[in-house]
């Protein structure tokens, strides 16, 4: 079975890339250690030399994109079930659009948070770690964290709602009375996306970028 | 068997010596040919090996018996310039004898009782050959030309040295061939008038200097191997070293340029022009102070940092002493200039106004600008007396910008690959496909 798995071209590619990556890291690390250049591996230098703008914009980008991935995934799962079930039981079409809307809400959370976070990015005039100042660094990292928070929670929320919605559609196709009960499960599922939004708002509440 | 082996060994040695001599002889540069013919018989000359350049001593040794006894009349045709290649170019050597510019010369050589030629005579100076002939004949030279020669009466009881100057085609008014043909006619005229006088003579044809100098330096003299076409490295100044009380060096500093600009002036003062003195410097285990050039003070300190568990040193401050007023402009270098204590710090550009590593720390310092080029400093644990330790450079392998680009692009690449993987493993569901079964029926109504 492993051989069958290996015969898959993707697996070979991923294995190769992973091997190359980790062997590069390993060899570079060994060389640095041998030549007593371990002091060159400086995480603090990386965190202070990279611009807070990079972190902020990564956060913004991840907020919207991960949310959209979650929404898209959920809609894809639910939608295909609705369409498939609707072939034999066309009455499920209109009622099950609610599941689609729950998935879409996740994307809306994402875009709202992305706009909110991007409004916090301001210009600052420092170039060295001392002149940039701690507040700007905090702002950059907070925006990155908030973006990750909302992005990942929306991602999993969207997948969750999608799978539940797919089940709801198929159950509805079999027995119309099941739909309302399953909808409660979906509501719990979509609440977790909202948690992500709330935490992201809390993270960026103290952000103050600028001079 | 032994004899043949010895013989072969001897012949190999002879070949090697011959080869070496051949190569050695090929190392001189200027040479002129000398053609001599005479109505009397000249001693025979073993033809020299090709490329052999006859030295003046050899010529003198050859001429001694020729002019040793009795009175001789020597006719020296002295062309401004002459080389072997002139004979090749204009002598009809390519099967075109009728175009030769040396017909009379050749006729004279052939019709004379004896003739010798030195294809390559070492050229040491313009008057080498006339002087030599003058010496051998012990007669002073007489300049003649073809017209005067016919009226000249020669005293055959004493030796005579007659010199006829022939031009060479130095100006481009006449072609070389014309000039040489004219010279040849002159030679013919002179020889015929001398023949009319019925005088026994020896004639020589040579040049004052070679017309073409081909320098053949032997490969033995040349540098073997390639040399890079780069300028020789400029002299490198020694680093400034301060030794502690026991005489062991403890602070070292080197820079290609140390320049300071003070307020109000446009240019930079190059500190290297001032005299360097390190008086007042001090060094101990935790602090090093280097007073340099009586106006610049580098203060370094070293301590143990627990997170990285090693000792690091930092250039805490650079203080510039303003001479007349006694004020100091101090710059903090702690944030940018640091290295593990056992290594030295090196940076191509240490400045206070461009990619600042030295931050102004007081009011005076904001008006001053420092710029050190190719700066290297070490204040602790100098391992070897006059060498810096390994130089921890201010520039790393990747810059901050490269890291940012790598992080972002790798993240995007990861996302892309993930999405691509998902799309590529979409399959049509064929679990319930039954090609032999009935097709599904779709009801038309709701």
Q: How far is B34 from B206, CA to CA, in rounded Å?
A: 5
| Domain spans in chain B, listed from the N-terminal domain onward | 28-209, 240-393
Gap between the terminal Cα atoms of chain A: 60
The answer to whether the beta carbons of residues B419 and B425 sit under 8 Å apart is: no
Cβ-defined contact of A58 to B403 (cutoff 8 Å): no
> To the nearest whole angstrom, how far is the Cα of B235 from the nearest Cα of chain A?
31
List CB contacts of B59: < 8 A, sequence separation 6 or more.
Answer: B34, B118, B121, B132
CATH architecture of B240-393: Beta Barrel (2.40)
Question: Between B107 and A7, where is the model more confident?
Answer: B107
Q: Which range scores top for mean pLDDT: A103-112, B7-16, B331-340, B428-437? A: A103-112
B36-57, pLDDT tens digit by residue?
888 888 888 877 788 888 888 8
**Section B219-246 average pLDDT:** 67
Q: How far is B333 from B370, CA to CA, in rounded Å?
A: 12
Q: Which range scores top for mean pLDDT: B26-35, B86-95, B285-294? A: B86-95
**DSSP-derived 3-state class of residue B146:** helix
List the beta bridge partners of residue B345: B377, B392
Distances (CA, A) of A42 to A90, B353, B396: 62, 25, 11
Q: How far is B12 from B189, CA to CA, in rounded Å?
A: 53
Which segment of A166-170, B221-225, B431-435 scores lowest on mean pLDDT?
Answer: B221-225
The answer to whether the beta carbons of residues B260 and B370 sit under 8 Å apart is: yes
Quote the domain boundaries for residue A169. 43-205
In terms of domains, do A130 and A69 share one?
Answer: yes
In terms of domains, do A35 and A109 share one?
Answer: no
Cβ-defined contact of B411 to A46 (cutoff 8 Å): no
B237 has pLDDT over 80? no
Cβ-defined contact of B411 to A58 (cutoff 8 Å): yes
Q: How far is B52 from B45, CA to CA, in rounded Å?
A: 14
List the beta bridge partners of residue A138: none
> To the nearest whole angstrom, how far is the Cα of B397 from the nearest Cα of chain A?
9
**Nearest residue in B to A40, CA atom:** B396
In terms of domains, do A103 and A185 share one?
Answer: yes
In terms of domains, do A23 and A48 share one?
Answer: no
Would residue A211 count as lying in a domain? no
Question: Between B132 and A167, where is the model more confident?
Answer: A167
β-pairing, B160-166 vs B141-143, is parallel
B21 has pLDDT over 70? no
The answer to whether the beta carbons of residues A138 and A207 sit under 8 Å apart is: yes
Q: Full-prediction pTM beyond 0.95?
A: no
| H or E stretch at B339 | strand B338-340
In terms of domains, do A121 and A153 share one?
Answer: yes
Give chain A's contact residues with B (Cβ, < 8 Å).
10, 14, 39-40, 45-46, 49-51, 54, 58, 65, 87, 90-91, 128-130
Q: What is the ipTM of this complex?
A: 0.86
Rg (chain A; Cα; Å): 23
| Dihedral, A123, A128, A131, A132 alpha carbons, nearest 10 | 40
| H or E stretch at B310 | strand B310-321
Please tell me the total count of domains within chain A. Answer: 2
Would residue A210 count as lying in a domain? no
**Tokens in use for A107?**
């994307």
A136-182, pLDDT tens digit by residue?
999 999 999 999 999 999 999 999 999 999 999 999 999 999 999 88
| CATH code where residue A94 lies | 1.20.120.610
**DSSP-derived 3-state class of residue B75:** strand
**In this structure, how many other beta carbons lie within 10 angstroms of the beta carbon of residue B42?**
18
B361-403, pLDDT tens digit by residue?
888 778 888 888 888 988 887 766 678 888 999 988 899 999 9
β-pairing, B73-81 vs B202-209, is parallel
The answer to whether the beta carbons of residues A99 and A168 sit under 8 Å apart is: yes
Give the pLDDT band (50/70/90) at residue B1: very low
């Amino acid at each position: 079975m492993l051989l069958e798995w290996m015969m898959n071209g993707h697996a070979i590619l991923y294995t190769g890339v992973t091997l190359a990556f980790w062997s590069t890291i390993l060899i570079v690390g060994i060389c640095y250690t041998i030549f007593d250049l371990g002091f060159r591996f400086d995480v603090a230098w990386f965190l202070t030399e990279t611009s807070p703008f990079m972190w902020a914009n990564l956060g913004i980008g991840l907020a919207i994109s991960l949310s959209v991935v979650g929404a898209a995934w959920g809609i894809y799962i639910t939608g295909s079930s609705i369409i498939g079930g609707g072939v034999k039981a066309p009455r499920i079409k209109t009622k099950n659009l609610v599941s689609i809307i729950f998935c879409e809400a996740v994307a809306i959370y994402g875009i709202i948070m992305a706009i909110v976070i991007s409004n916090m990015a301001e210009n600052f005039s420092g170039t060295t770690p001392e002149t940039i100042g701690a507040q700007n660094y905090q702002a950059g990292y907070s925006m990155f964290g908030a973006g990750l928070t909302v992005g990942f929670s929306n991602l999993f929320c969207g997948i969750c709602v999608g799978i539940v919605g797919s089940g709801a559609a198929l159950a509805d196709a079999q027995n119309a009375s099941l739909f309302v009960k399953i909808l409660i499960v979906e509501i719990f599922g979509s609440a977790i996306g909202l948690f992500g939004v709330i935490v992201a708002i809390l993270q960026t509440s103290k952000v103050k970028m600028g001079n | 068997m032994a004899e043949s082996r010895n013989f072969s060994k001897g012949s190999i040695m002879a070949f090697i010596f011959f080869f070496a001599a051949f190569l050695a002889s090929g190392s001189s540069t200027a040479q002129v040919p000398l053609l001599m013919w005479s109505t009397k018989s000249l001693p025979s000359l073993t033809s020299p090996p090709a490329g052999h350049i006859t030295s003046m001593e050899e010529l003198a040794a050859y001429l001694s018996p020729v002019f040793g006894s009795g009175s001789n009349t020597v006719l020296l045709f002295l062309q401004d310039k002459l080389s072997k290649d002139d004979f090749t170019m204009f002598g009809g050597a390519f099967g075109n004898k009728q175009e030769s510019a040396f017909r009379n010369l050749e006729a004279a050589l052939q019709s004379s009782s004896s003739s010798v030629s030195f294809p390559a005579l070492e050229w040491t100076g313009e008057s080498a050959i006339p002087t030599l002939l003058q010496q051998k004949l012990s007669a002073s030279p007489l300049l003649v030309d073809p017209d005067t020669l016919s009226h000249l009466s020669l005293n055959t009881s004493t030796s005579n040295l007659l010199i006829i100057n022939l031009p060479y085609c130095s100006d481009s008014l006449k072609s070389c061939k014309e000039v040489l043909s004219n010279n040849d006619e002159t030679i013919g005229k002179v020889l015929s008038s001398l023949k009319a006088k019925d005088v026994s003579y020896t004639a020589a044809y040579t040049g004052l200097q070679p017309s073409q100098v081909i320098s053949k330096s032997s490969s033995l003299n040349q540098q073997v191997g390639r040399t890079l076409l780069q300028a020789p490295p400029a002299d490198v100044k020694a680093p400034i070293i301060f030794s502690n009380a026991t005489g062991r060096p403890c602070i070292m500093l080197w820079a290609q340029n140390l320049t300071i600009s003070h307020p109000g002036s446009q240019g930079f003062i190059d500190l290297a022009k001032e005299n360097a003195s390190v008086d007042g410097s001090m060094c101990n285990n935790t602090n090093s102070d280097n007073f340099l050039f009586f106006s610049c003070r580098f203060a370094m300190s070293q301590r143990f940092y627990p997170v990285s568990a090693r000792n690091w040193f930092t250039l805490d401050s650079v203080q510039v002493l303003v001479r007349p007023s006694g004020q100091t402009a101090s710059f903090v270098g702690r944030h940018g200039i640091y290295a593990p204590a056992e290594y030295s710090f090196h940076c191509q550009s240490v400045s206070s106004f461009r990619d600042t590593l030295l931050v102004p720390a007081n009011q005076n310092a904001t008006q001053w600008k420092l710029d050190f080029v190719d700066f290297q400093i070490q204040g602790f644990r100098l391992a070897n007396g006059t060498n810096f330790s390994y130089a921890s450079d201010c520039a790393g392998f990747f810059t901050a910008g490269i890291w940012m680009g790598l992080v972002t692009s790798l993240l995007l690449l990861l996302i892309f690959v993930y999405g691509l993987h998902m799309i590529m493993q979409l399959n049509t569901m064929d679990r319930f496909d039954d090609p032999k079964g009935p097709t599904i029926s779709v009801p038309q109504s709701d």
